[in-house]
Structures are given as C-alpha cells and as structure tokens.
Structure 1
Amino acid sequence: MSENILVATAWPYTNNYLHLGHIAGCYLPADIFARYQRARGNKVIMVSGSDQHGTPVTIAAESEGVQPIDIVNKYRKNHLEVWERLGISYDLFTTTGTDNHIATVQDIFTKLYNKGLIYKKNMTLLYSEIDNRFLADRYVEGTCPDCNFERARGDQCDQCGKPMDALELINPISKLSGDTPIPKESEHFFLKLSALEQPLLDWIKKNDYWKPNVKNFSLKYLTEGLKDRAITRDIEWGIPIPLEGYETKRIYVWFEAVIGYLSASKEWAQIQNKPDEWQKFWFDKNARSYYFLGKDNIPFHTIIWPGILLGYENHNLPYDVPANEYMNLSGGKFSKSENRAVWTHEFLEKFSADALRYYIVSNMPENSDSDFTWEEFLRRNNDELVATLGNLIHRILTFTFRNFDSKIPEPKKIETSDEKLMSEIFITKEKVESNLDICKFRESMRNIMNLAQNTNRYLDSEAPWHSIKTDKERAGTTMWVSLYAISAIKTFLYPFMPNASLQLGSYLGISTDVNQPTWEVEKPKSGTTLETPFPLFKKLEIDIENPLADE
C-alpha cells in the first residue's frame, strides 16, 4: 500500500554559492531517498527553499553595498541552476519570503503566544556604540566558552555545534566595526522551551532507529536542561511580529525558517490545486517525515522544530532526522564565509552530475566526517565508475549488439551458474532496499557495485567470446543473463545516478517514464532491438594542482 512520505531538507542561506559540502551534507542524500520512495510507489513530496531572512544575507548585502533582496535573487538563481544540473528533484523549492510562509509563521507565533508558550521579557543584548545598533547573533564573533574555538558565532559554535547566546561568548567583537559591544536591555519574545523539555525527552527516547550521533546529541541538550530562547531581534529584515507596538523588531530566522517545511507543504498543495493535500503528510499518523541536514543543524530539527509542533497543533513530529557529519576539503572544513570551497556550479561546468553523485555517495559522511580530495575523486571515477561499472555495461551491450543482430537473444538451457547470478540480482535488491529504507546510502551503493563485480566474474567464467564460436545458443543464454543483471543495475542505480539509469534503460530497449520510475527489475525481452551503445561514463584526466582550469 502506498505511503505518504515527506522529505525535507535544510533551507540554504542565499548569501553565497553552494559548495560540495552542502551537497554531501543533505541535498544529495535527500534526493536519493525521495527518488527511491517514488520508485517504490509511495506518494512523496520533497520540499525546501531559500532562507532569505538569515543574518548572513544582510551581512553579505552590507559588504556588497546592496539590498538584502538583491543578494537573495543573485544566489537563489544559482541554487536553482545547481538543483537542475545535479538532478535534485524537489517538488517545491520556495522561499521564506512568500505571503504563504509569512502567514504560516505568524499563525504559529500567535497560537503559541496565546497558549503562553511565547512570552515577553526584557533581555540583555550586545549593542555597538560605533554601529549605533543592537547586534544580531551573527554580527558577533568571539571565543566559545565550551571548546575555546576563537571564531564562534553569536548563535552557534561551528566547532562543537553548541547553540548559544551571544552574551556567552568570551571577548565578543562586532563583525561590522570590530569594536567591543556593550550589554544593553531590549524587550523581546521568548519561546518557552523549558515547558517542552519533558515531552521532547519522552519522544526522543522512543526513537531507537535514529542514528546514534543524532539521538545522543539531542539527549545531551535535553538532559542539561532546556533554556527559553528569544525568537525576535532588533532588525528590519525578516517577518514582522503580528502584534502592535513591535514594528522595529522581527521574528528571528532560527524560529521561522524551520516552519518553512509546513508552509512549503501548504504552498505545494495550492500549486496542485488540491489545497488540503498537504494534510496527508502532516496529520495522517501513518505518514513519515524525514529531515535531511548537516550535524550543525541537529538541535533545530530534533528540539526546536518538534517543540514548536508540540505546542502548535496535532502535526506529525519528525519520523527521522538522518543528519550527516561533514565532508571536509583536503583536511579542512568547507566554509562559505571563508570562501574555502569547491563551488558546485563550477564543478558541474567541467564534470558530469553522475560523476559527482557517485563520488559523494561513495564517500558520504554518514557516521563520521569524510574528506574531499581531487585525487580520490579521480580514482573513484576512473577505477570504479568507469573501469568496473561502465566497462561491464559497455562490454555486455556491445558484444550482444555485434553478435546477435543488435537484438536481445533468447535464453535456452539455464545452467547452475546462470541461476546463481539471477539469484544474486534479487539478493542485491533486498540489500539495497533494506539499506535505503534506513538511509544507508553508501552501503546501498556498495551492494550495487558488488553485483557489478559478480556479473564481471560470471562473464569471465562463461567466456561468451569463446562459446560464440562453437555454441551460439549457450553464448546467447550467457548474454541474456548478463543483460538481466545490468537491467537490475539500471533499476537500482536510478536513485543514485538517474541520468545513467535512464540512458542504460534506453540502450536496453526499456522505456522508462521519467515522472513514474519503477523499482521492478525488468527481464530482457528476447528480440528487442538494442540501441547502438556508447560508454555511460567518461574517464577523466585532471590537473590536480588546478583541477577546474579550462583545458
């Protein structure tokens, strides 16, 4: 029976381009999972959007001397192009600037305020006398009191991941003027997280299928005791507070951005001309929601967002939060703010989407940090994608095309070796499914590559290039079984490398509806005319010192 699956990804700030660390952290795993669930016949919506209200956007605007919306438009256009070229299959990638999102955020704010879960009180903030303004969290930098990282932000430490108040920083400075800000009082609204601590703790303890790092990270903050957090700031860029007298303040981004998953679902339903369709994903207790993000976003999706939902209405809480660790760059962390990155759009100008998708899934930081290096990218592409998988597919197709009048031969007597490989197809199918069901993408890809290696061994053992000379029927059966194996590989590859999967299906004479993928393994139909085959993947030569240079 078809299930309703919500796939949600972290909302990228529109303050810079997307680097490969972003893709590995959440966007590719989410796409693989969504494509797999669609192929299984489930009803899937994959939603996210541009986070246009974050202070990184205003910081970028001020540094470039333009308005925040100009920064949003510039980088949103780039992000949309990356999704298209990389094949990230959103059902909706919207923005936090829509009327629908603003209305949803203000409705939640109002209901939580009326329930006493949002309340007003004075708070001490950092104020710059040189800048003549209160400094929002990301306008402040200092030393983390927990890990002593010297460039911690005022909202979170990038080194240890701890959310914090800017006042906790040691030796804080203004990122605008470099001066030392002073404490000053201002009235703001707080989310009463302390009242939600026990229900959140009870809920998280039951989620035994969560990744250990996600569950333990979340339990650590809960057992230390949740503190109420301010959800408004003295800024002009953001969503207005839906109460009179607070026109110079805005709802802060960490509260409103996570609400985007709900507002985007509503917007998607409106676009489908089925305005209530979103409710199937948010109220049906058999529906499941998966939130894909990097480890720095874990507390916002396992504590803050579920806390908001618990206080709001009977919406489904996250079913799973399969957060990844970091993919680093040659031993150091990718960083948009420090311009230390391999930008995805530049990468895709030179290399194929399939090459990137294969490398990332093979090196995905699912349980520990991984590292991107050009040497490893080259090795993965040439030794695995081309030499193992691509070569297998190409030699099966070309041998069949040349020796059987461009048609799929008819199998005759099935031998034990044939049965063994055909059995391996469905063993692999079960392994890939069981791993994808629990978001083990790297292991799923290994299962597929193992099938390719076993098919290679089968071919070498059967040696149809010899039997074609003395027993064409036997050679034909060997090739039919081999075509069966790569037909299965075509199916299993679809979530990981959709372009290669669809092209392989075309070579095999299997018509695949891009909008209605299937998870069934199709047996080769004898007599089907094969297309002239060409290699699916390209061997690369890279100047490691300057890999993105024009040739």
Structure 2
Amino acid sequence: MTTEPRRFLVTATPPTTNGDLHVGHLSGPYLGADVFSRAQRMAGHTALYASGGDDHQTYVVTTAQRLGVDPVELAARCNDEITGTLELADVAIDAFTRPDDAYREEIREFFAELYRAGRLVPRTWTFPYCAETGRYLLEAFATGFCPECLAGTCGAICENCGHPNDAGSLLFPESTGAGEGSAKEPREVEILVLPLEEYRERFTEFYRRRRSTMRPHVLRFVDEMLSRPLPDFPVSYPADWGIPVGIEGFEGQVINVWAEMLPGLRHMAEAARAHRTPETPAGVWDKGSGFELVQFLGYDNTFYFSFVHLGLAFAHGGLIEPTAIVTNEFYHLDGAKFSTSRRHLIWARDLVGKYGPDNVRFHLALGNPEHQPADFTEAGFLETVRTRLHEPLRRITAELAAYTGRPVAAAPGTEALLDRYRDRMRRAYTLETFSMRLAAETTANLLVLLAARASDDPGLATAGLRVLATQASPLVPGLASTIEDRYTDAAPGCVPDLSDLIAVTL
C-alpha cells in the first residue's frame, strides 16, 4: 500500500535556558519529536524538526539570582549545554536557535502588526507590586496556590492541572526572592491582551475537527476551558526581562514570553527549512504551505499551545494551525517531578554519557509518560535495558554465531510474521496513533521472540534482526545502523558477524 507523501513541521517546546536538559525533559518533547521525525522520513515523508532556547523566561532571572550569575551569561551557557546534550542523545534536530537581534525585531513586528490590525486590545490590569524586589508579581516572580486545583504553583500557569492564573486569581501570592510576608501593593497597569473569548466559536469548531489527532488529556483540558468564559491573555506585562513591546504607550513592558513563542517557533521553523530542505520556499508556517504542524510539549504547557498560540494564529489569519498537539505527562524521579529549580533531577548528559544514547532512548520510549505520569529510577532503567534489550540480543547473536558467513533459509511464514511487526510499528509511527511506547514494546517483544526461536529457526532470527534494524531505527538509531552495516558487509544471504552489537555494557 502506498500513501501520498506528507510534509510535517515538527516542534518541541523551546526549553528554558536556566539549566541543561534533565532526564524528564529528554523523555518528553525532545525525544518524542525526534522519533516522530525520523519515522516520517523513513516512511518517505518530509519532516522539519525545530526548537530553540527560551531565553526570555523569568525563570532565567530567578535562577541566575540564586546562582549569583548574570542572566544573559546563564542563558548563553545553557543554550550551549542543551545543544550538546541533544547531540549526545542522538536527537537529530534540524534547527536549535537562540534569540538574536533579528529574532527580537521579528517578534516585535509580529505583535505590532496584530496591534495595528486591532487584534490586540488595551486592558487595565492590576498587578501586586513588591517594593523589596522592585518587581511586579508575575510568572516566576510570584508563588502561591492554583485557583483551579489548589496546588502550590508559580504565576501564569499551574504545572499540576495546566490551568492559567494571573495576579488577580493566584491564591495567596508571594514575591519570589523577597522576605517572608514582604509588603505588596496593587498597581494598575494598562497592558495589551488577546481576548480569547472572541474566538470561542473558532476554538470549538477547531477541536471538533481535530479530535482524532489530539491526546485525551488535551481534549479534556479544552472542554474544561470552554465550559466557562475564556480569559483575556496578557500579551505584554511590566517587566525588564524579555523583548520590549516597542509600541507607544506601553513603555516599560515586555512581550509575554509565551506569546513570543508562537512567532519564535515560526522563526525556528525557517531555520530548520534552510538547513534540511533549502530548496523549499520560505514560509513553511504560512497558510497554504502544505505543511502539517505537529507540536510536542509537556502537558503543563497545554493552555499556551491549545488556546494562546491557536488564538494568535486566528488573529493573524495567515498561519497554519496545528494538525496535532502531542503531549506527555510528567516523568517523576523517585516519586517526585523532575525539577531544575529544585535541583531534583538527573542530568540527561550524565545518564547518556554513562550508558549510551540507544540504551537511554530505548528505556525512555518503553516507559514513556504518554498518558499518565511515570517514574524513573536508575535501578529500574538498568533492569529494563538489561532484560528487554541486551539479554535477548546477546542470546540471538550467540545462537547465530555458529552460522556466521553461511547462508540460512527462512522457514515458511517468516515474512508473514515479520509483516505483523512492520504493521504494528507503522501504526506506532503514524501521526494519528503515534506512540513511542508501542514502538518500543513491540520491538522488545520481537527481540524476545527471536531469542526464543534462534536455535531452532536461525533464518527467522537473522531475517528478524534485519527488519528490526530498519523499523526500530527511529528509536535506537545507533544500534540499528550497526546492525544494518553488518548485513551490508556480509555476503548476500549469509549471516553477518553480529558480535559486540552493544557498545555499552551495563
């Protein structure tokens, strides 16, 4: 069966540059987008994979303050660390950009156009102001309790339930970095907002059409948000860290970093196009480009992508809208959420450097928190990779060692059996049913089957390994490439030398 080639524009949420990537980060959007992109190219489709440093988050400021470093220097260092970690983990991203003057001017002009078109409107907003820190309480500068689920949270969004908050709705707000019970005073500021409620009918219709490509938790969140009036979203706010608005009357304000992210991702996508398919005309994010937008993100960012970015696309009128929003739930470390700010983490580069990218990718795919939280422990990682990857591979290669250089015949039914594996992997990689867990689980099951049958049916084992090398290459590209190279070097129809397939011993 042949399918018409598709063109995918794949994004992973730009990581905050207040630290390197930890294992929780890697298990989420960055690995997911990489596996999806590799799988689409394997199937003959086009996939551009883009992300970049999220330098303008206020968490960069609070982390720099805690570490006693300059926030600009911190962001620059973390951009270098993140790109190095992605490379170490064999994440083949087409563009990972960082903000520069051209980027900032592009962002300002995007919002200036919306303002001139009347899509952004002024609103008087009341912010608590902390004289001790000299900051308005917003984003990372504020802590309190979520008005929706009552969990402790910072300003703007609740990481637990994903619902937005603001200075007026955050319960018992306190100023980050100030003394306990520090004095706060309410101050009124005229800011720019995107009135999301004006697009209610378009949101409703969009999610009616796109239900098959949205994960269940996203749809549940959308239904919750649409059950009440949608909030105005602050596109600007009073702060000195970020991109200045540059619109008369809004001096001393910067563009909300989560609003910035939409045109920011468009900028990153153009860099990915120039890198991978320079022959493709510019404007891959423009309506009519023929690209399908597939966005990978943690569930806690759902509000921004499902409402704010989509609302900005509605307001602009000339941008593609997401075909799919692929979320992941939280990956926990010893029962608690990975957290850079709380230093509760395992750095991804440390784990990958110690055990190799394929082992880490295999485990993170197999236990991926696609629909519910998952827990990581190093002991569990070692046990899973040893029993579900290394041991069956070693048993297969040991049984086939006696046949090295000799031809072996496949028994009747071998191709039909391997077609079942191909079909299941195709389902795992297809956009509408994408699942790293399914791909890894199916591959692990095939390895166990081949190991169990290798002594009695070496033809199945040798044919199965070669099919696995193709189908599992988006998951474990290094291992897959090694197996494929061994088969390429062997005489046609003969068993290759399969010794020492696994480079890292656990």
**TM-score with structure 1 setting the length:** 0.85
Matched, 1:190 2:203: no
1:396 shift after superposition = 4.9
| 1:215 positional shift | 1.1
Match of 2:499, SS? Answer: coil
State whether structure 2 residue 354 is matched by structure 1 residue 354: no
Offset from partner CA, 1:43-65 (integer Å, 9 cap, x none): 11000000000000111222333
SS at 2:326 equivalent: coil
Residue 400 and residue 346 in structure 1: after superposition, are their counterparts in 2 closer, same or farther (change >3 A)?
same
Q: What's the CA shift string for 1:464-513, capped at 9, x where partnerless?
A: xxxxxxxxxxxxxx5444321110011112000101011111222269xx
Are 1:122 and 1:185, in contact at CA under 8 Å, matched by a contact in 2? Answer: yes
Aligned match for 2:126, one of 121, 124, 128:
124
User: In 2, Cα distance between the equivalents of 1:384 and 1:272?
Assistant: 35
Aligned AA for 1:212?
A: P
1:419 pairs, out of 412, 423, 427, with 412
Deviations 1:353-392 (A, max 9, x none): 111111111100111111112221121011111112x224
- 1:74 lines up with 2:77 in the alignment: yes
For residues 395 and 164 of structure 1, the distance between their equivalents in structure 2, rounded to whole angstroms, comes to: 59
**Which residue number corresponds to residue 224 of structure 2?**
220
Aligned with 1:139 (options 131, 136, 141): 141
Matched, 1:526 2:505: no
Would you say 1:505 and 2:484 are equivalent positions?
A: yes
Match among 403, 413, 424 for residue 431 of structure 1: 424
Are the counterparts in 1 of residues 396 and 451 from structure 2 also a CA contact under 8 Å?
A: no
Corresponding residue for 1:102? 104
CA distance in 2, matches of 1:510, 1:5: 34
| Match for residue 240 of structure 1 among 234, 241, 244 | 244
For these two proteins, the number of residue pairs brought into alignment is 498
Name the amino acid aligned to 2:439. S
* Structure 1 unaligned residues grouped into runs of 5+: 402-406, 463-477, 512-523, 541-551
State the 1:67 CA deviation: 2.5
The change in CA–CA distance for 1:132 and 1:457 in structure 2 (over 3 A counts) is closer
Distance 1:175 1:280 in 2: 40
Whose Rg is larger? 1
**How many angstroms apart in 1 are the aligned matches of 2:92 and 2:424?**
24
User: How far apart are residue 197 of structure 1 and its match?
Assistant: 1.8
CA deviation vs aligned residue, 1:398-444 (integer Å, no higher than 9, x gap): 2222xxxxx25164xx6xxx122321111110111012112111112
The letter for the 2-side match of 1:34 is S
Q: Do the aligned partners of 1:354 and 1:500 also contact (CA within 8 Å) in 2?
A: yes
Query: Retained in 1: the 8 A contact 2:137–2:167?
Result: no
Give the counterpart letter for 2:116 in structure 1.
N
Counterpart among 11, 14, 17 of residue 17 in structure 2: 14
Residues 246-285 of structure 1 mapped to structure 2, 5 A cutoff: 246-270=250-274, 274=278, 277-280=281-284, 282-284=286-288
The answer to whether residue 437 in structure 2 is matched with residue 488 in structure 1 is no
User: Over aligned residue pairs, what C-alpha RMSD do you find?
Assistant: 2.2
Which amino acid letter does the alignment assign opposite residue 441 of structure 1?
Answer: M
Query: What is the aligned partner in structure 2 of residue 448 from structure 1?
Result: 443
Say whether 1:409 aligns with 2:407. yes
Match for 2:26: what amino acid?
I
> Where does residue 521 of structure 1 map in the other structure?
none
Query: What SS does the aligned partner of 1:509 have?
Result: helix
Give the TM-score of the pair, scaled to structure 2: 0.93
Aligned equivalents of 2:106, 2:204: Cα separation in 1: 26
The answer to whether residue 344 in structure 2 is matched with residue 343 in structure 1 is no
Aligned counterpart, 2:305: 301
* Distance in 2 between residues matched to 1:152 and 1:260, nearest whole Å: 26
| Paired position in structure 1 for 2:163 | 162
Relative to structure 2, which stretch is displaced further, 63-72 or 51-60? Answer: 63-72
1:309 counterpart letter in structure 2: A
User: Take 1:408 and 1:273, find their aligned partners in 2: how far apart are those partners?
Assistant: 42
Aligned to 1:31: 34
SS at match of 1:258: helix
